[in-house]
Amino acid sequence: MCKQCSAGSFSSLEGSASCSNCRGDSYSTATATECTLCRRLFFYTLELECAECPTGVDCSLDGGATQELLTLKPGYWRISPLAAEVYPCELTLACKGGADFDTTTRSRKLNAQGSDSYCNKGYTGPLCSTCVRNGDETYFLGLGTESEVKECLPCGGAKTFIAVITAPRVIMLLVALFLALGLLVASFIKCKPSENAKKRMRLLIDQIARENDIVMVGS
């Protein structure tokens, strides 16, 4: 009498009266002829074996994870569906996780900066660590209004001016502010520098701002 094999077991012979349990960490769906999946906490690799799921991957269901269809938790990123390495994102709110894989083309949505498929809106590049800068859709790195973590915020619509500055450039900004303060103090104490000196100082301030991408964003 034929027997239908249940999930987690298989029969390699059609019409067999008995089923065999999947060995080790392998797993199968019902009526399977071989075990080509893995139990929970493991995923089926491109080498056709079961490997322990890395940190940041949801492998909570039996038979639910393969290397091409890994479901990442929010805050984690990988470069392609062929990559078994999963990395934590540096920006807390940058990576949305999920399993955004195009099974039609069997390829990731890649661009020149890396895979954006795991990135939330406004983020791009490896680890989703860069803010999008694309014409009208431009974001800058700043502190969120409801949290004290760095996130990519949309440009425009700000009620006050915001200086978008990266940490290594703070010193250069301070130099520019010092030069500007020098001009202000000189005017108060009636120590008037020559017009040529003032022009050179203003040019230096402008050059520091331009070379260090210090941008004033306003409404």
Statement to judge: residues 162 and 145 lie in one domain: no
- What gap in Å lies between CA 180 and CA 178, rounded to an integer? 5
Domain range holding 172?
Answer: 156-217
Statement to judge: residues 167 and 129 lie in one domain: no
Residue type present at position 112: A
Statement to judge: residues 133 and 162 lie in one domain: no
Statement to judge: residues 46 and 101 lie in one domain: no
Q: Could you tell me if residue 61 is inside a domain? A: no
pLDDT-derived band of residue 77, with 50, 70 and 90 as boundaries?
Answer: very high
| Residue 134: other Cβ atoms inside 10 A | 8
Lay out the sheet containing 133-134: strands in order across. Answer: 133-134, 137-143, 150-154
Statement to judge: residues 1 and 38 lie in one domain: yes
- What gap in Å lies between CA 186 and CA 194, rounded to an integer? 11
- What gap in Å lies between CA 191 and CA 200, rounded to an integer? 17
Domain count, the chain: 3
Statement to judge: residues 47 and 102 lie in one domain: no
pLDDT of residue 60: 94
Q: How would you label 46-77 residue by residue, b for 16+ Cβ within 10 Å and e otherwise?
A: eeeebeebbebbbbeebbbbbebebbbeebbb
pLDDT-derived band of residue 141, with 50, 70 and 90 as boundaries?
Answer: confident
pTM for the full predicted model = 0.61
The last residue of one of the domains, among 102, 132, 155, is 155
Q: For residue range 16-47, what is the model confidence (pLDDT) as tens digits?
A: 778 999 999 999 999 898 999 999 999 999 99
- What gap in Å lies between CA 169 and CA 208, rounded to an integer? 9
Q: For residue range 179-213, what is the model confidence (pLDDT) as tens digits?
A: 666 655 555 555 555 666 666 666 766 666 666 55
Q: Could you tell me if residue 142 is inside a domain? A: yes
Phi, psi of 9 (to 5 degrees): -140, 170
The last residue of one of the domains, among 132, 155, 178, is 155
- What gap in Å lies between CA 36 and CA 44, rounded to an integer? 7
How many residues are listed for the chain in this entry? 219
Q: Could you tell me if residue 67 is inside a domain? A: no
The last residue of one of the domains, among 104, 132, 155, is 155
Residue type present at position 11: S
Give the residue from 101, 105, 21, 22 showing the smallest Cα distance to 68.
101
Statement to judge: residues 124 and 84 lie in one domain: yes
Statement to judge: residues 151 and 161 lie in one domain: no
Statement to judge: residues 88 and 148 lie in one domain: yes
Mean pLDDT (the chain) is 76
